[in-house]
Amino acid sequence: MIDLHGFGHLLLAGTWVTVKLAVVSLIVGLIFGLLGAAAKLSDYKILRGIGTAYTTLVRGIPELLIVFAIYFGGSAIVMAIASWFGYDEYIEINPFMAGVTALSIAFGAYATEVFRMAILSIPKGQWESAQAMGMTPSKTFFRIILPQVWRVALPGLGNLFQVLLKDTALVSVVGLQDIIRQASTAVAATKEPFTFYLAAACIYLILTAIATGTTHWFERLSNPQARYKG
Amino acid sequence: MSWDWDVIIKYYPKLLDGALLTLELVLISGFIGVALAVPTALARVSPNRLISTLPFCFIYFFRGTPLLIQIFLIYYGASQFEAIRESSLWPILKEPYWCAIIAFSLNTAAYSAELFRGAIQAIPRGELEAADAFGMSWFKKTRRIVLPRAFGIALPGYGNEVVLMLKSSALASTITLLDLTGMARTIQARTYTPVELFTAAGVIYLVMAALVIGLFRMMESYFNRYQYYKPPIDPLGVEKQ
C-alpha cells in the first residue's frame, strides 16, 4: 500500500471539500439549466436570444478562464455594484462561492441543452391534454412535463455530473483546499509528488465510480415500468 | 468600475502570442492523440479479454480523473524517481511544454478511443460480414472497411472532442506555460484589469472554437457527402412531357 506519511486525513478533508463543491454546484447548475431551457424554448425572442448567448458563450470558453474571471474579476464587479450603494471598502470573494458560481455557470450551459432536448422529446399531446383539463402552463410544466423530462434527462445529466466532478479540480488553482490542493501541500512537505497525486487520482476514480452508481440508481428509480415484472 | 480599452489594445499582440501557443498545443497533441487512439480503440473492441483489458484500464483512468491531476502527475510526479531523473528522457520530462503535450495527448487519446470504439461498433454488421465473405484478412478488413467507415461516423463527435481539448488546454497555464489563459493571467497580475483581459481572452477562445466547429462542418459535408446526396427528382424528364 502507498505510504502517505500521515497526510491521509488531509486528503480526506480535501475530498469532503470537493464533494461539497460538486453537490452545491450541481444544485445551482440544475436551476441554471432549467432556467436556460425555459428561456431557449420561450415564445419571446429576447429570452431565446439570452438563452442562446448563454450556452454559446459558456460552451466556447475554458472553465478555467471562467473560474479566473469570477475569482479575480468578481470582486471588481461586486465592489462596483456595492459602490452604487455607497460602500467603498474592499470586498473579497470567497473562493468557495467563486468556485460554485463558475462551476454552476458551466454546468448550467450544458444542462440547458440536455433539458431542452428532453422537454422537446415530450409529445405535444401531453401539453394539449393538460390544457384540456384546465391546467395553467406552469401547473402543466411542474405536474406533467417535469416528471417526464427528469427521466429522459437523467443519463445526460449523469454524464455532465462526471464532468463537473472533474472540473472541481480547477478550483484548487484559486486556493480552495480541495483534494489537489491538499495533495500539493503534502507534496511540499514530503517531496513525493507521484505518490500523492496518484493517491488523489485514485480518490477521483472512487468518486466518479460512486457518481456513476448513483446515476444508475436514480435511473432505475425514475423508470418504474422497467422494474415492473408483471 | 471603468472599462479600460487601452489595456486590451496594448496587450493584444501578447494575447495573440498566447493563442498561438494554445493552437500549437492542441494541434500537436491532437495528432499524437489520434495516432494513439486508433490502435487503442481497435484493441478495445477485440473479443479477446487479454487484448481488451489494458486499453480499458487506460481509458478508465484517463476519463475518470481530472486532467489537472494528470498534468501534475507527469510534470511534478516524474521527478520523484531517481531512474527517470538520470535517464535520457529527463531533458524532455523537465520541460513544462513537453509535459503538457504528453498529458494532453494521453487524455485526448483516451476520450477519442472511446469515441472511435463507438464508431467501430456502429458500423452495420452486414458490411463486416460482406468483407468476411470476400475472404479478407483481419488487417485488410480493418484497413479497407472498418477504419474508413468509422472515420465518417466518428467525425462529428471528434469535432466536439477538439473543442473540449481547446478548452482544457487552458490548464497548461497551471504549469507556467504562457498559453492564452496563462498570458491573460500574467498580464492581469501586472495591470489589475482582470475583467477586460479575461473578456478579451474569452473572445479569442470563442473565435478559435468557432473556427474549429466550422472546419469540422466543412470536413463532414465533404467526407459524409453520401448522406446528403439527393438524386435528381426527374432524371429522364418524364414529367415534362
Size of interface A-B (CB pairs under 8 A): 121
Q: How far apart are CA B120 and CA B104, in angstroms?
A: 23
Q: Give all domains of chain B, ordered by start, each with its CATH number.
A: 5-226 (1.10.3720.10)
In a domain, residue A154? The reply is yes
pLDDT of residue B40 exceeding 90: yes
Rounded distance, CA B192 to CA A99, Å? Answer: 20
Quote the cell numbers at residue A160: 455532465
Residue A33 counted as domain residue: yes
B194, A76: Cβ pair inside 8 Å? yes
Q: A205 pLDDT exceeds 80?
A: yes
Residue of B nearest to A168 (CA): B66
User: pLDDT tens, B8-31?
Assistant: 888 889 999 999 999 999 999 999
Interface test mutation site (partner A, options B84, B164, B167, max chain A beta carbons within 10 A): B167
- Predicted confidence band of residue A2 (pLDDT cuts 50, 70, 90): low
Mean pLDDT score, B102-122: 94
Residue A83 has pLDDT above 60, yes or no: yes
| Under 8 Å between Cβ of A220 and A226 | yes
Helix, strand, coil: what percent of chain A each, to 5?
Answer: 80, 0, 20
State the Cα–Cα distance between residues B13 and A42, nearest whole angstrom.
41
Nearest CA to B84 out of A108, A208, A194, A214 is that of A194
Q: Which residues in chain B are contacts of A14 at CB distance < 8 A? A: none
Per-residue pLDDT tens digits for A132-168: 999 998 899 889 888 888 888 998 999 999 999 999 9
Q: How many CA atoms lie within 13 A of A180 on its CB side?
A: 25
Give dist(CA B118, CA A212) in Å, integer: 19
Helices B5-44 and B194-223, packing angle to 10 deg: 40
Q: Does B21 touch chain A (CB under 8 A)?
A: no
C-alpha cell at A13: 478533508
Q: Is B199 on the interface with A (CB under 8 A)?
A: yes
Q: Which three cell numbers, joined as nine digits, stand for A150?
A: 427528469
The residue of chain A with its CA nearest to that of B57 is A205
Nearest to B205 among A61, A76, A208 (CB): A61
Contact yes or no for B167 and A61 at CB 8 A: yes
CATH of residue A41's domain is 1.10.3720.10
pTM of the model as a whole: 0.88
Question: What are the distances in angstroms from CA A95 to CA A11, A85, A100, B42, B187?
Answer: 19, 24, 8, 44, 21
Q: Cβ atoms within 10 A of the Cβ of B163, count?
A: 19
List the one residue out of A102, A100, A92 whose CA is nearest residue A70.
A102
pLDDT in tens, A15-66: 999 999 999 999 999 999 999 999 998 889 999 999 999 999 999 999 999 9
* Chain B residues whose beta carbon lies within 8 Å of the beta carbon of residue A73: 194-195, 198
The residue whose grid cell reads 477519442 is B112
C-alpha A7/C-alpha A12 separation (Å) is 9
Domain count, chain A: 1
Q: CB burial class (10 A; 0-12, 13-18, 19+) of residue B105?
A: buried
Would residue A197 count as lying in a domain? yes
Kindly state whether residue A2 falls inside one of the protein's structural domains. no
**Where in the sequence is the domain holding A127, given as residue range(s)?**
8-229
